[in-house]
Structure 1
Amino acid sequence: VFDEAQLHGPESIRLRWHPGGEPELGPAGRFCVTVDEVTLSAQIHALGLDPADLQSGHHAYVAPYDQDRIGNPMPQQREPYVDLGVAGKHARLLSLFAIGAVGESVPDWRRTGPASWSWDGQTPSGEAGSMSPVAPSAESVSRSTPDTQPGAASVTHVQVEADHICVQGPAGSWRVPTA
């Protein structure tokens, strides 16, 4: 997922993810969450900005927004979230997600260069993970489908350039413009 914010002046910019379960924060913008034996591996990066730490928390309604329109208290769901904050006039945030097979551990995204990451979808049992890159459906997105062989590695690579993002993996290749 690619998010971009352009503001009139420098301000605080926050992006929040709702992972559906208790997140486990890792170093350098990583987090994972496991719900019903399915694990999501995430890598968040603020492009062109100093690395920012992720924080986790739980939503809570506070006054005066903790009551419905007739004054009854709103139920506190306390849903977990992961939050990234950066400061500036312009922010470009890249969120990489991969989902593993039921009951399998999921490897972290690995940084392979200044603006590139890889994810090896090979599970401990030797089967390919269920990660599949998704690109927006637009005419400007170019996509190709590889001739995959049974037992081929299921490594996904993401490369960020000045005006586009390239994704290559077992489900195909995408070149998505960002400008």
Structure 2
Amino acid sequence: MKKLLILDSKNYTDDMRAFEKYAVRTIIVKNGRIATQHGAAGDYKIVGGGIENGETYIDTIMREVREEAGLLVKQDSIVELGEIEEIRKDLYHEDEKFICHSYFYYCEVEDETVDTNMTMSEIKKGYHLCWATPKEIIDANSYFHYLPWIYRDTRFVEMLQNHQFDNVVSLKTENESRILVK
């Protein structure tokens, strides 16, 4: 997958043990708005999460979108967009370097919705499905730039809004509901 961006905080040492995480993030667009998890604090997080043992990227996309947003992905609509790699000191283990590979995909969803199955952390943060414009996401998340996952997602939305992808023609923002891909 094409590397879009490396976010390296350089707050670690090279002799630290590395922990690597692999995750998918989805861009789902309807009427110029992106499906997000909107937190009680006002932050917007792109729908997606960690790849579990034995899962393919497609399996993870289908599961995460259903769990976090209650949306059902149309499997044949999934299009690879690129990877953002994050490197930093682990937030929970001071002696570890954290490397997160976030693979971003565009996909479409069915009209039908189902119940979510969020983690306790997501529930505590008040996350719920919210459709937001790129500008709403960027503006609101500017207050949460210190959270690495919010910073990553915001940078991706900025790149999307600024047409920085080889395979994306445009993000329609008025009455169109999809990203046009080559």
What TM-score results when the alignment is normalised by the length of structure 1? 0.25
Q: If each structure's helix is expressed as a fraction of its own residues, which one has the higher value?
A: 2
When Rg is computed on C-alpha atoms for both structures, the one with the higher figure is 1
If asked which structure has higher relative contact order (CA below 8 Å, sep 6+), I would say 2
What TM-score results when the alignment is normalised by the length of structure 2? 0.25
Q: If each structure's strand is expressed as a fraction of its own residues, which one has the higher value?
A: 1
